[in-house]
Amino acid sequence: MVAMPLSAEQQERYVRNVDVVGMGVEGQERLLASSVLVIGAGGLGSAALPYLAAAGVGRIGVVDGDAVELKNMQRQVLHTELGRNKAESAAERLRLLNTDVTVDEYPEYLTAERARELFVQYDLVMDCTDTYGAKYLLSDAAEAVGARLIWASAVGMQGQCSVFGVPDAHGDKLYLRDLFPEEPQAGDYPLALEIGVLGAMVGQIGALEATEAIKLLAGFGEPLVGRVMVLDALRGRWSVLPLRKG
C-alpha cells in the first residue's frame, strides 16, 4: 500500500503513537500502509494482534487452523466462544477494534508451500506458534523467500523474542537454523503441556513481538536484530543476549 496523509480522525486516534520519539507522522503513515502476517492466534497472538490493530497496521493476516478450547481461555484472551476457529474469532475482534485495518483470515494450518505463498504477500511475518515443528517450518519458509520474521517462544515462566531475516551488524541475516540447525527431539526442551505456561507472561512476550513489528514497519528504533531478549518472569529479570551465525 502507498502511504497516505493522516485524516483528521486518524491524527486524533494515533496522536500518542505520533508523539513517540522516532515515530512521528511519517512513521504512522508508514504503519497504516504496511502489512503483517501473524501465524498463531493463541497465547502470543492474543497479545500481539490487538496491539498491532490498535497501532494502525494497515493490513493484518491471521493464520490458525485450531479451534478454541476451554483450557485455552486462561491466556488466549482474544476469544470468547468455545469451538470457534481461532483465526475467524481473532479477525472479528480486530475489525471491531479498528476500522482502519483490513483483516485477512486464514482458518488453516500452513504447509511449507502455503507458507511461502503467503509470506511474499506481506511486509513482515510474525511467529506466534507454540510448537517446535511449526517454528522451524515458518523460519525455513521465511528464509526461502527472504521474509522478515519476528520470532518468539513462551513456556512456563520464561519467554524470548528476536528478529530474523534483517541484516545484523556483520551483514548476516539470521534464521532459526543458523542458531539451532536441528529441530529439538522429544524431551530436549520442556513444553507448555508438560510444565504449563502463565498467561500474563505469554502476554508480555506477545506484546514484545508487536513492539518489534511496529518498530520495523514504521521505521524507527533498534529492532532485536542479532540479539534475543529473554524474560525470566519467575525471578523478575529481563536480559538481552547476542546472537551470531554459527
- Whole-prediction pTM: 0.95
Is 31:214 a contact under the CB 8 Å cutoff? Answer: yes
Closest CA to 41 of 57, 61, 71, 23: 61
Non-local (6+) Cβ contacts of 194 within 8 A are none
d(CA 212, CA 234): 23
Cα–Cα distances (Å) from 2 to 31, 33, 95, 128, 175, in that order, read: 10, 6, 21, 27, 29
Closest CA to 103 of 144, 58, 145, 143: 58
Question: What is the structure's pLDDT at 192?
Answer: 56
Class of domain 34-242: alpha beta
d(CA 245, CA 169): 12
Q: Which residues pair with 39 in a beta bridge?
A: 63, 127
Which strand (E) or helix (H) includes residue 164? strand 158-164
Phi, psi of 151 (to 5 degrees): -115, 140
Residue at grid coordinates 505520533 = 18
* C-alpha R_g of the chain: 17
Residue at grid coordinates 530436549 = 188
Question: What is the structure's pLDDT at 55?
Answer: 98
Question: What is the structure's pLDDT at 182?
Answer: 86
d(CA 160, CA 175): 15
Per-residue exposure over 152-163, b if at least 16 CB sit within 10 Å of its own CB, e if not = bbbbbbbbbbbb
CA dihedral 139, 140, 145, 148 (to 10 degrees): 10
Is 193:142 a contact under the CB 8 Å cutoff? Answer: no
pLDDT per residue of the chain (246 residues) written in tens, 0 to 9: 778 899 999 999 999 999 999 999 999 999 999 999 999 999 999 999 999 999 999 999 999 999 999 999 999 999 999 999 999 999 999 999 999 999 999 999 999 999 999 999 999 999 999 999 999 999 999 999 999 999 999 999 999 999 999 999 889 999 999 988 888 776 556 655 566 789 999 999 999 999 999 999 999 999 999 999 999 999 999 999 999 876
Tell the burial category of 181 from Cβ atoms under 10 Å away from its Cβ (0-12, 13-18, 19+): exposed
